[in-house]
Amino acid sequence: MSELAALSAAIAKPAHVAEHLVYDFDSFHDPAYLENPHARILDMIAHAPPVFWTPRNGGHWMIISHEAVFKASRDFDSFSSEFVPQAQIKAMEAAMPPGSPHIPQPLPINIDPPAHTKFRAPLQGAFSPKAMMALKDDIRALAAELIERIKPRGGCDFMTEVAGPLPVQVFLKMFGLPLERQAQYRALVKQHLSNPEPDPRESLKRLMNVAAIMHDTLIDRRDNPRDDIISLLWKTEIDGKPTTLGDMENYCVLLFIAGLDTVMNGIGHGVRHLANTPALQATLSANPKLIAEASEELLRRYTFTVPPRIVARDMAFEGAEMRKGERAFLFLPAADLDPREFADPEIFDLSRENRAHIAFGTGPHRCLGSHLARIELQVLYEELLARLPEFRLDPARPIRYHGGHVMGPDTLHLLWNV
Ligand code: HEM
């Protein structure tokens, strides 16, 4: 269990919340969740209402059934992604002295349709399956190098040695940034993960740091385009207008937030399952063609992101009275373990009939990086199973998990024979 587990203070239930919809769950600090998140989720599905209100972390809604998560994800008029309304951001910028740095915003993830569409469109081409497939060989070479480095040691913390560095190095490569920046990026990812519910000013500072690290490269690629994502995005238009430095900074902070710790945690969940299941390692090593399907079933079985929304109007949703301004978490990990959607959801089953998981979300904000993430995950499993002998969890060093919006292992100590 994490040493940091201390429940946040419970607040009083607002009068409009029905008593039977209250369920006490702290998605950042619940001790059972931090010990074994998906076991805790299965227990929650059995005992909590499909939509409930928790008094923890300032009080908020949790949407957990597949049906309710699906509905809420698509209903952006009722569940908004605009935590700070665009009008307020414009007012903040207007109030700043001339020459102040631009406030980077992760767009399109924090803006609702219809404006969402114009910011999403340029990224769609940049992250298309074809564009991502072109990176596959480089990703494989990076994965192979990281695994060969740990192989002679007979054991390691997989999060620090492989799961963390791989997405960071892929990011640097895609963006045409020098590998020397790796330490800076990993420090920023760590900061991001260790502070899951930050003070908005801290979060702004972090985003400004990301934009500052990227600044010189952004300018260089505008003036000297190369074959990388930054150069490509400079050539796109947003709503018929040329991309500005501000737009480019927005995209960089978005991709930093959305792309780095997600893949890292996905690798952690998947490799933990493999380490616990030697028979699956043997099956996949003997039949590498099954790895793509296995990777999908691992995403369903261990879905791990929890996108937040803000309730946009007073309304009744799935029997719950909600008020404008309340927060609601789309608990995707529970939706993908809902027995009404997936038979025997706790079983990892390669021959499952329904494979339509929502680990990448659903609705207008569905993950733009899913093609890249899938390649990173599959290639990593392929290289791991081809290069390491059978591996197992180190019984002396139990896994520590973090909760929050991207839940996953902090440490994953593996052992193998050399
Ligand atoms: C296994 C890894 C990943 C998972 C599970 C994941 C999951 C998600 C989910 C659930 C959303 C929807 C968020 C919402 O509804 O508010 C999302 C959005 C997004 N993801 Fe991913 N993601 C992963 C990897 C990546 C990568 C590698 C990138 C790119 C480098 C990326 C880029 C994005 C972007 C840009 C959005 C925002 C899309 C929009 O708002 O229209 N993701 N992701």
CATH of residue 244: 1.10.630.10
Is the minimum distance from the CB of 368 to ligand 1 under 6 angstroms? yes
Q: How far, in Å, from the CA of 13 to the mean position of ligand 1? A: 32
Is the minimum distance from the CB of 263 to ligand 1 under 6 angstroms? yes
- Whether pLDDT at 196 is above 70: no
Domain count, the chain: 1
**pLDDT, tens digit, for every residue of 264-285?**
999 999 999 999 999 999 999 9
Mutate to test the pocket of ligand 1, among 136, 269, 367, 375 (most ligand atoms within 8 A of CB): 367
**pLDDT, tens digit, for every residue of 360-392?**
999 999 999 999 999 999 999 999 999 999 999
What DSSP character marks residue 290?
A: G
Domain range for 404 is 2-416
Question: Token pair 């998906």 is at which residue?
Answer: 38
**pLDDT, tens digit, for every residue of 35-84?**
999 999 999 999 999 999 999 999 999 999 999 999 999 999 999 999 87
State the Rg of the chain over Cα. Answer: 21
- Whether pLDDT at 197 is above 80: no
Q: How far, in Å, from the CA of 369 to the mean position of ligand 1? A: 6
Q: Based on the number of CB atoms within 10 Å of its own CB, is 134 exposed (0-12), middle (13-18) or buried (19 or more)?
A: exposed
Cβ atoms of 412 and 308 within 8 Å: the answer is no
pLDDT of the residue at 24? 97
Model pTM?
A: 0.94
- Whether pLDDT at 190 is above 80: no
What DSSP character marks residue 160?
A: I
pLDDT band at 103 (very low <50, low <70, confident <90, very high): confident
**pLDDT, tens digit, for every residue of 289-335?**
999 999 999 999 999 999 999 999 999 999 999 999 999 999 999 99
Q: How far is CA 158 from CA 15, 264, 282, 300, in A?
A: 47, 10, 20, 21
Tokens of 287: 């039949």
Is the minimum distance from the CB of 281 to ligand 1 under 6 angstroms? no
φ/ψ of 385, rounded to 5, equals -70, -30
List the helix and strand counts (H, then E) for the chain. 17, 14
Mean pLDDT, range 182-204, rounded to an integer: 71
Kindly state the percentage of the chain with pLDDT values over 90: 75
Mean pLDDT, range 20-25, rounded to an integer: 98
- First vs last C-alpha separation in the chain: 30
pLDDT band at 401 (very low <50, low <70, confident <90, very high): very high
- Whether pLDDT at 194 is above 80: no
